[in-house]
Amino acid sequence: MSLKIALVQTDSLIGNVAANFSRIAEIITKIKSTLAVDLIIFSELSTTGYPSEDLLFRRDFITQANNALFDLANIAPEIGIVVGFPELSEGKLYNSAAVLSEGSISAIYRKQKLPNYGVFDENRYFSAGEKPCVFELKGQFFGLTICEDVWHSDIVQATKYAGAEILLTLNASPFYAGKRPKREALICSNAKLAQIPIVYVNAVGGQDELVFDGASFVTNSDGEIVFHAPEFEEHYAVIEFENSQPLLPPCPIKEKNDIATIYNALICGTRDYVRKNGFKGAILGLSGGIDSALVLAIAVDALGSENVEAVSLPSKYTLDMSNDDAQIQAQIMGVKYHRIPIEPAVKAFTEMLATTFENTPTDTTEENIQARCRGVVLMAMSNKQGKLLLTTGNKSEMSVGYATLYGDMCGGFAPIKDVLKLLVYELARYRNSLSQVIPERVLIRAPSAELSPNQKDSDSLPAYEILDPILARYVEQDQSADEIIAAGFSSTDVKRVISLVDRSEYKRRQSAVGIKVSERAFGRDRRYPITSGFRG
């Protein structure tokens, strides 16, 4: 018995059921007209997008999703279609998968394991299903699972015992660095344990801070991967099965470049945020430093140089080399470039505040005025042109509050918010390995905010070689001060860094959304109270 199964990884737009339905219908029609297939599988909640968050509390939204489902069943009644949708039944909402065939819904599976950790809040919205689902199509028996379910060997085995010969799993599994090998290893292990092939279909595209990497795959019953879909792009492929096994040999294991994968995730997240929110392009402040240099490269790779503008905003403390390097990169990348000195605005504010500040020493207040003047200019240009202002702060700065609220934190999206400083350099070098776009001097000079004479980041912070590993342990792994010190870090450095992190929560709560690329990102992934008496 031979069957052909199409795996479709789509980039849904949260909440726009009509657009998602149209895209699904378009793909079904195209596959139907060009390929002989028996079954087409889409990703988790493909009709609504994932995660739809509190839209799921709206009855009109759920009704739209269900109505679209019935319409979908009539597009290709001779082909089995599996799509994810939010199912409302007897007052309960389920994260479900529907099997459409012969113009009707022939089976429904309800997700059993509802993740409620990290970025996931499924217990807030959904009730859990309680039993496996097996359906028959052209003499073949298929089992269904949804995302978290397939990570649990007991559910995989229970579905096999219920009669499944091939397991289909619909997923919206967001990306973070290093997740794909973990995901594949666990699912391959469960396939081998249950002796059942698994067809894993994942969502793709950016949704606010989350990026879905696609990377759908198929295993045989020995837990060997026989097919890999590409990362970070919409894609469909047809896999033929005979006697319940895929007719493909195991794929050779390829060494993955994690830096390249992270860079592609940043491109995908930036492109989709700008595109899905209807901006005409992007604009950013280009300082001549490494962070803004990397963000410019990401923006151009995501949106095209014709849709990106760079603005240099020098002060009296800005070095000539910074101005030169900013202009050089803008020219290399072919973006529209502006140079707008901020000294007139700084002077105006200083004069306005002269009486109020009389007999007080100069401190970070004067530095922050400079940053806020830049923020005003950039926001004005963003408003006037309908382009999204990208902030250029990295995770190291966001962690310790080394950023000016309403200054360099101004903007609507922060591409490298979850990228530690040392990783910024790795990503920049990777991008230059593709083509030299960031001046070499930017990569080797000491980082500086250039808000006071001869200023360097190391004047205010431990060296990034010390800071970043402490942040990784404290922010991403929730280690205590004692644990970090026991790992060999200076007690002084550790206590200082932890104090800075804890005191800066109020800034982060007001910062722009940024792309999650680590296992633990600020925002929905790491939620701490602003007002807190706990000291770590």
Domain boundaries, the chain: 2-249, 261-514
Cα separation, 274 vs 281, whole angstroms: 7
Give CA separation, 281 vs 127, 179, 416, 476, in Å.
Answer: 40, 30, 18, 32
Percent of the chain residues past pLDDT 70, beyond the cut: 98
Cα separation, 9 vs 77, whole angstroms: 21
Check: CB of residue 490 under 8 Å from CB of residue 498. Answer: no
Residue 66: count other Cβ atoms within 10 Å of its Cβ: 17
Amino acid occupying residue 475: V
pLDDT at site 325: 87
Listed ranges 1-5, 32-36, 51-55; the one with the highest mean pLDDT: 51-55
Say yes or no to pLDDT of 320 above 80: no
What pLDDT digit, counting tens, does each position of 353-364 carry?
A: 999 999 999 888
* This prediction's pTM: 0.94
Mean pLDDT confidence for 380-395: 96
User: What's domain 2-249's architecture?
Assistant: 4-Layer Sandwich (3.60)
DSSP 49-68: -S--GGGGG-HHHHHHHHHH
* CATH of the domain spanning 261-514: 3.40.50.620
Which of 182, 104, 191, 181 shows the shortest CA–CA distance to 143? 191
pLDDT at site 391: 96
Judge whether 343 counts as a catalytic residue. no
Judge whether 133 counts as a catalytic residue. no
Judged by DSSP in three states, 433 sits in helix
Element spanning 201, H or E: strand 198-202
Mean pLDDT confidence for 40-47: 95
Task: Identify the active-site residue in 87, 122, 147, 165.
Answer: 147
The yes-or-no answer to whether 2-249 and 261-514 have a common fold is no
Give CA separation, 251 vs 183, 218, 223, in Å.
Answer: 16, 10, 12
* Residue 183 token pair: 């995901």
For β-strands 308-312 and 336-339, DSSP reports them as parallel
Task: Identify the active-site residue in 87, 111, 160, 209.
Answer: 111
Mean pLDDT confidence for 65-70: 84
Say yes or no to pLDDT of 536 above 70: no
What pLDDT digit, counting tens, does each position of 117-168 carry?
A: 888 999 999 999 999 999 999 889 999 999 999 999 999 999 999 999 999 9
Judge whether 268 counts as a catalytic residue. no
Mean pLDDT confidence for 451-465: 74
